[in-house]
Structure 1
Amino acid sequence: MRDAGAERSGRGRRGHCALPTILWPLLLLLRVPCTSSLSAVCGKTRFSGNSSGSPTGKIFGGQRAEPERWPWQASLLYLGRHICGAALIDSNWVASAAHCFQRSTNPSDYRILLGYNQLNHPTEHSRQMTVNRIMVHADYNKWHRMGSDITLLQLHRHVEFSSHILPACLPEPTTSLAPDSSCWISGWGMVTEDGEQCSQVA
């Protein structure tokens, strides 16, 4: 790995996963602790609403998410502007895509928003975190275009978990996803194919 030192809310989309499990090798290199206390809280959303939806092969559209539905969903800001989604995976580690860092790998250029449902409407549960270190996967774009498209960000300080801010669970090292496995995708992405962007987590 390379060590580089409008109102929006999230949506949830059920789609088909064909993602390689590349997080574990990264975490082993970084020695990020996966403690029993972390496993006790990861993925434990308090949301009790309906999670049904029809699978789709494209990542746009979706349904507006209620607060606390995706408490690990984070926003990556570059010079104060939302550019990519991210996921909290520990109290001071966030995962995002490597292609989001093509403009800069200077940690001071970035901020992480946690506990946000609508990006332009922070609440008492929202936190803006500074970035201490950016680690882009060493094989990003090396073997094929967009390959190993993942980056880890270390926050300057640990975040306090709450029902609005929780880490996502990581797969076991032996996890193998079958082609076309169903999964949930969340973020502040495009609502339509022509580029209309969602202002709320979906």
Structure 2
Amino acid sequence: MEDLDEAAAAVTVCVTGTSAKCGGSDPAESWTGTLCCVSTSPTCTYGTSSACGGSDTKEHWTGTECCVDNQPTCVNGTSSACGGSDTKEHWTGTNCCVDNKSSCTAGTSSACGGSDTKEHWTGTDCCVEASICVNGTSSACGGSDAKEHWTGAGCCVEASICTSGTSSACGGSDTKEHWTGTDCCVEASACTTGTSGTCTGAGKHWTGTMCCLD
């Protein structure tokens, strides 16, 4: 599947580097004389020359920094956990960068990843693609709701807003609502005060305490 940012126009980012390492056989890099410019909308972070680049074509070593294509989220991790068979993870030598606008939060290696292909264990953090991460419980988060992802410590939801609610009101037949065990996350543009009697009909979502609008 195409990364979420690949369809957007590429942005060039210029960072520190060296003339000896920047450019050369890498067509994405250009040496200005003082900076190394990378043309692939990268996130540039700490790394090492031995780990950054090589067989990972999305990584670019500038001489001082490791730049990874398409603005991934870069967080702490370990070389043993980051990368490998997970092509959306990129080990820089210092950090683990994860594709697709991932939110990274606390988690456990036993809960994060596995059969959930939108979860990525970095060795220290659990990164989940295109989501908001909030409190929750393992019994309520995930299960039959494919847009919820239990990290081992929290619940990450493919939604735009998470707010207060109740388990009896949030979710159910409303497929845009997702109950995490503590919060109600809604695919909506705004949430405000209201009542269950008036927050009904198309484009409205009653969480149990709030009314969310498409």
Q: TM-score, normalised by structure 1?
A: 0.21
Larger radius of gyration: 2
Q: Which has the higher contact order (CA 8 A, sep 6+)?
A: 1
More helix per residue: 1 or 2?
Answer: 1
Q: TM-score, normalised by structure 2?
A: 0.20
